[in-house]
Chain A
């Protein structure tokens, strides 16, 4: 056995130390998840509000004035608030839901469980990581109620709107609060990332070699590496921005007129900010998607009752994606006056990402091919992920091409692309993970499958209903971020399509309450799993007791003897062989699986 120091003894914990300032990775995972769900509802509600404006721009909704006051005077969202909604929707979903909510939940839950550790390398740092995130959340939430509104210059906070407090209403206090919240968020991410990498490298149980780790852990490992190496660039960008805002420097500002009056700042360059921002911004896409890829790999293999296809190819693909993610940032800047030769280099590097991505898609499909598939809600969301990743990934090849980007950039085609490939896919991966590991989160309780199916189909149909038509209006040149198209007669032909998109968005948002009800009700009334291992899975987390205690295993940590994907092995008694099962004589003679 791996651990000679038994930790089976239970210790008395106070309410505060168990549920609030907990250092237990499982409780921290739940804290990240529930905070992420709350942010998901807030961010989703914002999209409903701005879709009301885009779908029915001439309609008045008196209830909006009741709820939002002067931000929706006469029942119509005012332009300043529209921009604030779009900005905060992006910020919340990208960082607070799909980074902290997704990575924070599953890295915390799965790393110690699946590698066979009592907890993270530094439980204290782990706790601080959540509380910095919480503090960031509180500040960002408070900014929504500032008299001049929250930040409104787009989630990318490009200068000059972000650098000049007097530029637009959201550029003042709203932007200041945004920066403070994001600084705390970056600290939280770095604390988490450091812990994840160290725990994976240093704390694996006996027998858990790197190439026996489940793909979830590989994905989280590379995600953490991307985070610790790319968030500092955003920190650097924010530092210079703060000096521009408050100390009279001019890193990003030049040739600006406000109200017809030239500003004194002439020394800077807004393009500089774009370089720094996208050096984080593009890897951020992979911070969001890689954990979902790991979750999906695990869920597909478990529920297809088949070994993951091409385990090593999956790892090399993640490695390739990680490496490439750092050298493609300027594809977000093709239209910024970038040297066309440089643009062509970034174009080639960008298109190359299709190779490891395609390897992964091929392997997922090959994994479920001729599998004995169990269509659990988690499995449906995992299959849905593969669908959205393909649908959204294909349009990345269009946008990665610098010449096609001349037509498509800043149109709804871009909105459709990144929402499908990044937002939808990551959310689908997150849902797959929640449905799959719910029994580990809540003491063996299971979520209701029927509600899960309803949630999946409603989400899948409405999500495609929202984003599929956006490709058409984007190709027709309809620009993103516009408050209204009423003055553009050429775009009036899309009024009906915009209303359809908005209707789908509202129904899709409403459908998420099926999940939320299922999630919270199942904590108390969910069916109790009859076994420790309800999905007949191979990984270590299913060997821990239903009741949580700090230390995970009551006795010694189990030793690992095999990889995580021995499903439907010929000659085996069951269609799964847990990682803790020693290799048989015959298996010892076989070549390695991967």
Chain B
């Protein structure tokens, strides 16, 4: 029957759940996207016609917020495993709030950039444009993560069997930590290279 084959039934050589393995490989693929973008940044910088500027402090705040969200996500997962619903929901809510807070900090960072005269649409140098586009790409991933967080939050609220299988939360947690680490990498990269 279409869609009815259980993955668990098929596996004779089970080491890591197929969905987790799939996520890890997808993370490898996403990492390559950002590796390509940051490599392009370095290549373009080496070509010249480059403008150096100081990264606005708002991006430091967003880094701290995303790190804090990783901590709350970790706690949410551990409470999900312990089947402590109210604590799980509280920390998931906190993670969602911090995720949205991160995006707000990023917006504040863009506003600061504009005030410094650094725009996305700049045809004289690509240095500012790189910061915008790479951080947009990261934000797109993070928004996807927030969507999953919201789904997992509401599943925790409404599903009666939710805490029997925490795979969904585990996958969301892995992805959320990844987007957090990715931003830390990007923040360090931009801080060093500007």
- Is A435's CB within 8 Å of the partner chain B? no
Is B5 touching A123 in the complex (CB atoms < 8 A)? yes
Whether A249 and B123, one on each chain, are in contact in the complex, defined by CB atoms closer than 8 angstroms, is: yes
Over the window 6-49 of chain B, the binary record of Cβ atoms lying under 8 Å from chain A Cβ atoms (1 yes, 0 no) is: 11011111111011011001101110111111011001100101
Which of B68-76, B97-105, B124-132 is near enough to bind chain A?
Answer: B124-132
Contact between chains at A194 and B22 (CB < 8 Å)? yes
CB distance from B110 to the nearest CB of A (A): 14
Interface positions, chain B 83-122, Cβ under 8 Å from A, are 120-122
Say yes or no: A264 contacts B123, CB within 8 Å.
yes
B contact residues around A124 at 8 Å (CB): 3
Is B192 among interface residues, defined by CB-CB distance under 8 A? no
Interface size on B, residues (CB 8 A): 47
Bound together, the chains give a CA A205 to CA B10 distance in angstroms of 8
Measured CB to CB, the nearest residue on chain B to A235 is: B33
Q: Chain B interface: which of A269-277, A317-325, A376-384, A446-454?
A: A269-277
CB within 8 Å for A279 and B36 given contacts A3-B9, A24-B2: yes
Give the interface segment out of A50-58, A84-92, A240-248, A501-509: A240-248
Q: Is the CB of A250 within 8 A of B126?
A: yes
Residues of the B chain whose Cβ atoms lie less than 8 Å from the Cβ of A250: 122-126, 129
Residues of chain B with a CB closer than 8 A to A230's CB: 32
CB distance from A39 to the nearest CB of B (A): 25
Let me know if A194 and B25 touch, CB within 8 A.
yes
The answer, yes or no, to whether A561 is at the interface (CB within 8 Å) is: no
Q: Are A550 and B25 in contact (CB under 8 A)?
A: no
Is A194 a contact partner of B26 (Cβ separation < 8 A)?
yes
A7, A237, A243, A275: which contacts B9 (Cβ < 8 A)?
A7
Instruction: Tell me if B1 and A11 are in contact (CB < 8 A).
Output: yes
Assess the B36–A204 pair: CB atoms within 8 A. no
B1 cross-chain contacts in A, Cβ below 8 A: 11, 13, 550
- B119 → A minimal CB distance (Å): 9
Please state if B122 and A121 are interface contacts (CB–CB under 8 Å): no
Chain A contacts of B13 at CB under 8 A?
A: 202-204, 206, 208
Distance A203 CA – B3 CA, assembled complex (angstroms) = 17
Chain B at the A interface: mostly helix, strand, loop or mixed? helix
Q: How far is the CB of B191 from chain A (nearest CB, A)?
A: 21
Q: Kindly list chain A residues whose C-beta atoms are within 8 Å of the C-beta of B123.
A: 248-250, 253, 264-267
A266 and B133 within 8 A (CB)? no
Q: Is B159 an interface residue (CB 8 A)?
A: no
Q: Which residues of A contact B157 (CB under 8 A)?
A: none
Say yes or no for B137: interface residue by CB 8 A criterion: yes
Contact A271 B47 (CB under 8 A): yes
Cβ of A296 under 8 Å from chain B: no
Most buried by A among B10, B35, B123: B10
Smallest Cβ distance from A483 to chain B, in angstroms?
A: 32
> By the criterion CB–CB under 8 Å, are B44 and A272 in contact?
yes
Give residues of chain A (246-297) contacting chain B, Cβ–Cβ below 8 Å: 247-251, 253-254, 264-269, 271-272, 275-276, 279
Q: Is A546 an interface residue (CB 8 A)?
A: no
Q: Which of A21, A269, A551 contacts B5 (CB 8 A)?
A: A551
| Minimum C-beta distance from A3 to chain B (A) | 7
Residues from 6 to 39 in A contacting B, C-beta threshold 8 Å: 7, 11, 13, 17-18, 21-24
Please give the distance in Å from B31's CB to the nearest CB on chain A: 8
Q: A249's closest neighbor in chain B, by CB?
A: B129
Cα–Cα distance between A540 and B1 once the two chains are bound (Å):
22
Q: How many residues of A contact B (CB 8 A)?
A: 68
Taking the closest CB of chain A, its distance from the CB of B186, in whole angstroms, is: 14
Distance in angstroms from A561 CB to nearest chain B CB is 14
CA gap between A233 and B34 in the complex, in Å: 8
A254 to B37, CA, bound (A): 19
Contact of B125 among A2, A21, A267, A550 (CB under 8 A): A267
Given that A122-B18, A248-B123, A272-B40 are contacting pairs, would A203 and B11 also be in contact in the complex, using a CB cutoff of 8 Å?
yes
For the complex, give the distance between the alpha carbons of A119 and B2 in Å.
Answer: 11
In the bound assembly, the distance between CA atoms of A316 and B32 in angstroms comes to 24
Q: Does A232 contact B (CB under 8 A)?
A: yes
Interface residue A462 (Cβ < 8 Å from any Cβ of B): no
- What is the CA–CA distance of A266 and B49 in the complex, to the nearest angstrom? 9
Contact call B129/A275, Cβ cutoff below 8 A: no
In the complex, A193→B32 CA distance in Å? 14
Does B4 sit within 8 A of A, measured CB to CB? Answer: yes
Highest count of chain A CB atoms <10 Å: which of B13, B47, B122? B13
Give bound CA distance, A114 to B30, whole Å.
29
> Given A23-B2, A239-B133, A275-B40, A194–B7 Cβ distance below 8 Å?
no
* Chain A, Cβ-Cβ closest to B16: A202
Contact between chains at A2 and B32 (CB < 8 Å): no
Cβ-defined contact, A122 with B22, below 8 A? yes
Q: Report whether B121 and A233 are in contact in the complex, using a CB–CB cutoff of 8 Å.
A: no
With both beta carbons as reference points, the residue of chain B lying nearest to A6 in the complex is identified as B9
In-complex Cβ contact of B10 among A11, A203, A248, A253 (8 A): A203
For window 498-550 of A, CB contacts with B under 8 Å fall at 550
Q: Closest CB-CB distance, A203 to chain B, in whole Å?
A: 5
**In the assembled complex, how far is the CB of residue A118 from the closest CB belonging to chain B, in whole angstroms?**
5
Q: Is the CB of B4 within 8 A of A267?
A: no
Contact call B12/A228, Cβ cutoff below 8 A: no
Q: Would you call A243 and B5 a contact (CB within 8 A)?
A: no
Measured in the bound complex, the distance between the Cα atoms of B3 and A551 in whole Å is: 11
Residues of A within 8 A of B35 (CB): 232
Give the distance in Å from the alpha carbon of A221 to the alpha carbon of B92 in the complex.
37
Within 8 Å of chain B (Cβ to Cβ): is A370? no
At the interface, yes or no: A217 with Cβ under 8 Å from chain B?
Answer: no
Does the CB pair A195–B40 fall under 8 Å?
no
Q: Using known A-B contacts A237-B36, A275-B40, determine if residue A194 contacts B19 with beta carbons closer than 8 Å.
A: no
Q: Given A2-B12, A121-B18, are A249 and B32 also a contact pair (CB < 8 Å)?
A: no
Alpha-carbon distance between A248 and B21 when the two chains are bound, in angstroms: 39
Assess A272 versus B36: contact at CB under 8 Å? Given A121-B18, A250-B122: no
A190 touches B29 (CB 8 A): yes
Known contacts A269-B44, A550-B5; A276 and B36 CB within 8 A of each other: yes
Known: A11-B2, A193-B25, A267-B129; 13 extra A-B contacts, CB below 8 A, are: A7-B5, A193-B29, A194-B29, A195-B22, A198-B22, A203-B7, A236-B37, A237-B36, A243-B133, A248-B122, A268-B126, A269-B44, A276-B36
Residues on B lying within 8 angstroms of A by beta carbon are 1-7, 9-16, 18-19, 21-22, 25-26, 28-30, 32-37, 39-40, 43-44, 47, 49, 120-126, 129-130, 133, 137
27 pairs, A vs B, C-beta closer than 8 Å: A7-B5, A119-B5, A121-B18, A121-B19, A121-B21, A123-B2, A123-B5, A193-B25, A193-B29, A194-B22, A194-B25, A202-B18, A202-B21, A203-B7, A204-B13, A228-B28, A232-B32, A236-B34, A247-B121, A248-B121, A250-B129, A251-B40, A251-B130, A264-B123, A268-B126, A550-B1, A551-B5
10 nearest A-B residue pairs (beta carbon)? A248-B121, A11-B1, A236-B36, A232-B33, A232-B32, A121-B18, A5-B9, A250-B123, A249-B129, A267-B125
